[in-house]
Structure 1
Amino acid sequence: MDTTGILDEALERLHRTGPERLGRLSNHAPMAVEALAAHGQAPAVHRWLDRYARKLEDFPSRVEPVTAANWPAALGDPARAADWIDHFERQLAEHPWREVLAQWWPRLLPGLYGGSTHPVIRVGHAVRTLLAGAETGPRSAELAHGLGYWAARHRPVTVPVLRPTAVGAAAALDAVPPIAERDGGFPARLDRVTALPVWAAGVTEPGEARDRLADLVRAATHRYATHGHGEETMLVHAATAPNAVLRALPALPPALWPASLRAAWTAAAAVTAMYAPDEPVPYAPPGPVTPEEVFERALAHGDEHVVKLTDTALDVGDERALAAALRAIELTASPSS
């Protein structure tokens, strides 16, 4: 993890900006710069951020402080993003960050699907940084921004009608039925997801939940190599959202792990239902390439989703995961093009 102070500088710079732009598109910069720093590319952070700066908007206006009494009414209100971020900054100033995370995780988990899953992804990046050791002010503030964004975009989903179970995460993803109508954005498509395979519902033991979640991250990352052309950007989240949950587990009480698995599965399966193509393409082995070389290619490409999928692919670490990252580079238009 970066110890140069560059990541902290970048986060301080970003905390003057809002979690979204144009009222609906997520600010990916905090997640991307954390990934760059985590993979030894801290010297490139500010250059990358300079290019991304045109997508940033000012920090939003405040409405009314979130309190212990009124927080349920503010949950899921995007106009209260600044209020929620302020609330979590106060909480983290008064309590250890793990304690705050453990208190709010079960409250926020049912609404993991808001903001196209970006809020939980941002929290996962923040938790990874804090678990790495240096609990600096900017890194604690980043957790507050992530949790605040999640609370503001909190969006539960109706439990779908369950289909027969599948064995293994890869088979379960293959069994996800596509939605009939593929028009509209993430919220509209999410409302059309009416059936998902049973896969995580019966898991109660924390160790099994952790192992299944790792299997899900691996399967969703692998699947991008052959299915990413269905929607090169949105299908990234089938892997990065459950990986964010997996990254948070070590900071959470094990009793929360089974519910975390179920929420992550629903997110990955729903994204698959909404965006997967009708047919896969043949798997193409990546050839002789190292993880470091793949990440350097992602950085050179520059797209935030490419960087984040490559970050997850390096967590998985095998050949097919590297092929998925290279596929994202191939499919995604470069920001400089």
Structure 2
Amino acid sequence: MDDTTGTLDEALERLHATGPERNGWLSNHAPMAVEALVRRGQAPTVHRWLDRYRHKLEDMPSPGSPVTGNNWREALGDPSRIADWTRHFERTVEERPWREVLAEWWPRLLPGIAGGATHPVIRTGHAVRTLLTSGESAPRRAELAHALGYWAARHQPLRAVDPLPPAPSAAAALDAVPAVRSQDGGIRARLAQLTAFPRWGVAPDPDTARTRLTELVAAATRRYATHGHGEPTMLVHAATAPNAVLRTLPALPRELWAPSLAAAWAASAAVTAAYTPPEPLPYTVGAHTPEEIFERAAAHGDDHTIKFCDTALDVGDPMAMAAAVRSIELNEPVF
């Protein structure tokens, strides 16, 4: 849905004075949530939502030294360079077409897809969706710059894992992902325990990669209906991270689609391994329409819930809608 009200640009301009994190590493979800709210017809709620979220925002850190074509490799993955990376991409997307910038940096950033608990790639997916479907503006290009800068600063490749036997489907592959041994600690401690993934996220050509990525998003979204109770907040990323990649594919050269599938599968599998519960629970399919469900999510106010319901609406089937309702039930309301 195009934003004819100007609300999204206003919201992004409010947010671009703030950093992508708070308290040292917790992500600023506001740019992603407001994009989803506008996209799903909830633009009138955006500024009120931002007013209530304001206490979670911190100023953008002070810059250090510029990121350049000569030193970017040493700055990659250095969270103390968040402001430097953001300034680099702000300059770059104003000097060159944003698709050209994205195509150059996507393969550089993709190995670090799990950095920042996958929030940087998710923020990138929201920014690209708007640029692809709603037109360009200075705040929208700046939002892509902030997203890419966050990703570059938090870039962190996953540890190498052993291959398990191939799975016949995305759902079967997610079911076969071994849980990490210790379910204590944050995501970084859990990702350090990854051991093996089923062989699944491979495609022989770009169109197959897109089809399998679509399948992965649907499977991870549906799985939340039965497994979201394992960790209601973190498990949404098993679906929203690959969906961010799926949303970005149309802006990328086709030769990047297959490696994008592989990275998205690794991210989804990693989150699943880190937080999957011992047993699934039953779910109920309700009678609410997708529009009613998202309206409930907006009223609920939790940023992860809003983003997950946005992804569930992309999937659109009854089990995905049940998963969306489950996220509303499991996560703490903000409003």
Q: How would you bin the TM-score normalised by the shorter chain?
A: over 0.9
- What is residue 253 of structure 2 aligned with on the other side? 253
Q: Name the SS for the 1:89 alignment partner.
A: helix
- What is residue 218 of structure 1 aligned with on the other side? 218
For 2:112 and 2:31, locate their aligned partners in 1 and report how far apart those are by CA, in whole Å: 21
* CA displacement 1:67-119 (0-9 Å, x = unmatched): 00000000000000000000001110111000000000000000111000000
* CA displacement 1:116-146 (0-9 Å, x = unmatched): 0000000000000000132000000000000
Q: Name the SS for the 2:201 alignment partner.
A: coil
- Counterpart mapping for 1:184-333 below 5 A: 184-201=185-202, 203-286=203-286, 288-333=287-332
- What is residue 152 of structure 1 aligned with on the other side? 153
Query: 1:3: how far off?
Result: 1.8
Deviation above 3 Å: which 4+ runs of structure 1? none
- What is residue 66 of structure 1 aligned with on the other side? 67
Q: Name the SS for the 2:163 alignment partner.
A: strand
Q: Unaligned 5+ residue runs, structure 2?
A: none
More deviation in 6-15 or 155-164? 155-164
Could you tell me which amino acid in structure 2 is paired with residue 311 of structure 1? D
* CA displacement 1:234-279 (0-9 Å, x = unmatched): 0000000000000000000010000000000001011111101000
Could you tell me which amino acid in structure 2 is paired with residue 48 of structure 1? W
For 1:234 and 1:212, locate their aligned partners in 2 and report how far apart those are by CA, in whole Å: 23
CA RMSD of aligned residues (A): 0.7
Could you tell me which amino acid in structure 2 is paired with residue 212 of structure 1? R
- What is residue 41 of structure 2 aligned with on the other side? 40
Q: Does 1:133 align with 2:142?
A: no
Normalised by the size of structure 2, how large is the TM-score? 0.99
Query: 1:148: how far off?
Result: 0.2
- Counterpart mapping for 1:17-166 below 5 A: 17-166=18-167
* CA displacement 1:9-48 (0-9 Å, x = unmatched): 0000000000000011000000000000101111111011
For 2:288 and 2:43, locate their aligned partners in 1 and report how far apart those are by CA, in whole Å: 22
Could you tell me which amino acid in structure 1 is paired with residue 244 of structure 2? A
* CA displacement 1:160-214 (0-9 Å, x = unmatched): 101111011001101111111111111110010111101013x230000000000
For 1:85 and 1:170, locate their aligned partners in 2 and report how far apart those are by CA, in whole Å: 37
For 1:95 and 1:71, locate their aligned partners in 2 and report how far apart those are by CA, in whole Å: 18
Could you tell me which amino acid in structure 2 is paired with residue 251 of structure 1? A
Question: 2:3, 2:134 within 8 Å by CA — same for their partners in 1?
Answer: no
For 1:135 and 1:204, locate their aligned partners in 2 and report how far apart those are by CA, in whole Å: 33
Q: State the identity %.
A: 67
Q: Name the SS for the 2:134 alignment partner.
A: coil
- What is residue 334 of structure 1 aligned with on the other side? 333
Normalised by the size of structure 1, how large is the TM-score? 0.98
Could you tell me which amino acid in structure 1 is paired with residue 334 of structure 2? P
Question: 2:32, 2:123 within 8 Å by CA — same for their partners in 1?
Answer: yes
Query: 1:335: how far off?
Result: 1.8
Could you tell me which amino acid in structure 1 is paired with residue 31 of structure 2? P
Q: Name the SS for the 1:162 alignment partner.
A: strand
Q: Unaligned 5+ residue runs, structure 1?
A: none
Q: Name the SS for the 1:196 alignment partner.
A: strand
Question: 2:159, 2:194 within 8 Å by CA — same for their partners in 1?
Answer: no
